[in-house]
Amino acid sequence: MIVAERKSLEEIRRTIAPYERVLIVGCGTCATVCGAGGEREVALLHAGLRAMEARSGEGWHTFLEFTVKRQCDAEFLDALVDRVREVDAVLSLGCGIGVQAIAERFPTLPVLPGVNTSFMGMAKEWGVWDERCAACGDCRLAETAGICPITRCAKGILNGPCAGTKNGKCEANNEMDCAWVLIYQRLEKLHRLEDMRRYYPPRNFRVIPRPRRIVSKAEVAVGGNNG
């Protein structure tokens, strides 16, 4: 799932400054799950902005809120058609994809991001999110015991741990486990340590020229003769 984090109110205040009426739009999927932009966070941000306006004594904004099922498909954004007529801008609490999908769906409407899209990950426990995938486009998990060194090693190195690991933790953050220690331990349990002894050549970054696109449909000719 995509994990995001709300931007500071100060930054949001600056981006909405030119617009009087702002519709805060939540997203019912990833942003809800990661607690950054679901209906609850929309309500909290709404309350925060209103409190800010009231306390500043110079508030002139009007806020509306609405949460769509998913921001990253235009069909779900149809629910916004009537609502955006009443506003000057949309503040999206969806991920970067959601912001762009709204922008594409409403060509003349300013769309502002309310969250920073952080990473792809999962809940470690309530209220704690860990990154798990870097979307590198060249998955090596088969060889690393299902633990991604590209995401979970601070250096993303492929041939084993650096010498900075201490007590099984990473030199960059002593609360994070050293991915390579985890990989070693799991490979040992799987009797697959030879996977770690193998040399991994430099990664092929060519597989991720940006922007990326995946075409899963086949190129077919319609109406022709297949025989």
Partner 1 sequence: MQSFAIHNLENHHLARPKRAAEDHSLIPPCQAACPLHMDIREYVSLTAQGRVMEALQVIRSGNPFPSICAHVCAHPCENACRRAQVDKPVAIRALKRFAVEFGGDRMVECEAETTHDERVAVVGSGPAGLACAYYLRKLGYLVTVFEAHSQLGGMLRVGIPKYRLPREVLDTEVERLARMGVEIRTNARVVSLDLLFDMGYKAVFLTVGAHQGLRMGIDGEESPGVIDGATFLREVNLGLKPSLGERVAVVGGGNVAIDAARTAIRLGAREVNILYRRSRAEMPADDVEVEQALEEGVQFKFLVLPKKIRRQDGYLKVNCVRMELGEPDARGRRQPVAVEGSDFEMEFDTLVVAIGQAPQMPGGFGVRVGKGSTIVVDPVTLTTNRVGVFAGGDAVTGPATVVQALAAGRQAAGRIDDYLQHRYPKDAAESRETLVGDLRPETIEMIRRIGRIEPPALPPEARTADFTPIEMVYDWEAAVNEARRCLRCGAGAEILFQDKCASCLTCLRVCPYHVPYVDATGAVRIPADQCQACGVCVAECPARAIVLRRPYDRRQVAGELEHVLRSAAQTKPRPLVVGFCCQYGLFGTGSLSDLWREAGGSIWLVPVLCTANVEAHHILRAFEMGAEGVFIASCGEQCARENTEFWVRQRVEKARRVLSEIGLEPERIEVLVPSDHNGSTAAEQLDAFAQRIGTLYLASILMQEVRS
Partner 2 sequence: MAKSSFEEKLDANEFVVTTEVGPPKGCDVSGLVHDIDLLKDKVDAINVTDHQSSVMRFPSIGGCLLVKEQGGEPVLQVTCRDRNRLALQAELLFAHSRDIHNVLCLTGDSVDVGDHKEAKPVFDLDSVQLLRTARLMETGTDTSGNELKGAPQFCLGASVHPGADFIEPQLIKFDKKVEAGAKFFQTQGVFDLASLRRFMQYASQFDVKILAGIIVMASARMARYMNDNVPGITVPQPVIDELATAEKGKGLQKGVEIAARFVKTIKEEKLCHGVHIMAVGNEKIVPDILERAELISVGA
119 beta partners: 3
Binding mask 147-166 for partner 2 (x = CB under 8 A): -------xxxxxxxxxxxxx
131 beta partners: 121
d(CA 188, CA 184) in angstroms, rounded, equals 6
Cis peptide, bond prior to residue 110, ω within 30 of zero? no
Q: How far is the CB of 189 from partner 1 (least distance, A)?
A: 27
> Where in 131-160 is the site for partner 1 (CB under 8 A)?
none
Residue reference for tokens 């920073």? 116
3-state SS, residue 53: helix
Q: How far is the CB of 195 from partner 2 (least distance, A)?
A: 10
d(CA 122, CA 129) in angstroms, rounded, equals 6
For residues 190 and 205, which CB has a smaller minimum distance to partner 2 in the complex?
205
Residue reference for tokens 């704690």? 128
120 beta partners: 2, 133
For residues 108 and 167, which CB has a smaller minimum distance to partner 2 in the complex?
167
Binding mask 46-65 for partner 2 (x = CB under 8 A): --------------------
Instruction: Please calculate the CA angle 36-40-44 and round it to the nearest 5 degrees.
Output: 85
In the list partner 1, partner 2, none, the entry touching 122 (Cβ below 5 to 8 angstroms by class) is none
Q: How far is the CB of 58 from partner 1 (least distance, A)?
A: 12
Q: How far is the CB of 42 from partner 2 (least distance, A)?
A: 31
153 close to 144: Cβ distance less than 8 angstroms: no
Residues near partner 1 (CB under 8 A): 8-10, 28-29, 32-35, 38-41, 43-44, 46-48, 50-56, 67, 69, 75, 78-79, 81, 123, 125-127
Residues near partner 2 (CB under 8 A): 154-168, 170-173, 180-181, 183-184, 188, 193, 196-197, 199-203, 205
